[in-house]
């Protein structure tokens, strides 16, 4: 295997993981902001407070921004995965290769008869 392929594979693996973590983080942040914004919106209506209403709108807008960035991150992760697959296929390596024997195997699941 040529050395530049090794570097490319490592880069795409790192990028894929980074984009996945970023996407999950921003999606989680979006849901939290949306929840807080909803509570503030309800409170603003109950207490007739315009400041709470402004804060609720701001947090809900930030939630949408975070959600859009998480979707962008997931698309970038998919691009990294496609590039990685393309390189592995060019090297005639199956990208769905099972884990090596040295890696821990998953615990066996119970069949319906054993439950």
**Structural domain boundaries of the chain?**
3-90
Phi, psi of 83 (to 5 degrees): -65, -40
Q: What is the pLDDT of residue 94?
A: 86
Q: What is the pLDDT of residue 58?
A: 97
Q: 3-state SS string over the chain? A: CCHHHHHHHHHHHHHHHHHHHHHHHHHHHHHHHHHHHHHHHHHHHHHCCHHHHHHHHHHHHHHHHHHHHHHHHHHHHHHHHHHHHHHHHHCCCCCCCCCCCCCCCCCCCCCCCCC
- Are 84 and 12 contacting, i.e. CB atoms less than 8 angstroms apart? yes
- Long-range contacts, stretch 39-43, CB < 8 angstroms, 24+ apart: none
**Tokens linked to 66:** 């975070």
Residues of the chain predicted below pLDDT 70: 1, 98-115
Q: What is the pLDDT of residue 2?
A: 79
Say if residue 62 is exposed, middle or buried (CB neighbours under 10 Å; 0-12, 13-18, 19+): middle
Q: What is the pLDDT of residue 86?
A: 93
Whether the full predicted model's pTM is greater than 0.85, yes or no, is no
pLDDT digits (tens, 9 = 90+) for 12-40: 999 999 999 999 999 999 999 999 999 99
Q: What is the pLDDT of residue 93?
A: 87
Q: What is the pLDDT of residue 1?
A: 63
Q: What is the pLDDT of residue 92?
A: 87
């Amino acid at each position: 295997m040529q050395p530049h392929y090794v570097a490319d594979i490592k880069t795409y693996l790192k990028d894929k993981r980074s984009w996945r973590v970023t996407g999950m983080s921003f999606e989680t942040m979006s849901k939290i902001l949306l929840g807080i914004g909803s509570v503030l919106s309800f409170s603003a209506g109950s207490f007739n407070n315009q400041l709470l209403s402004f804060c609720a709108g701001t947090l809900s807008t930030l939630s949408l921004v975070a959600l859009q960035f998480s979707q962008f991150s997931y698309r970038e992760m998919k691009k990294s995965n496609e590039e990685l697959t393309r390189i592995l296929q060019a090297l005639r390596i199956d990208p769905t290769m099972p884990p090596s024997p040295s890696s821990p195997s998953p615990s066996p699941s119970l069949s319906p008869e054993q439950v």
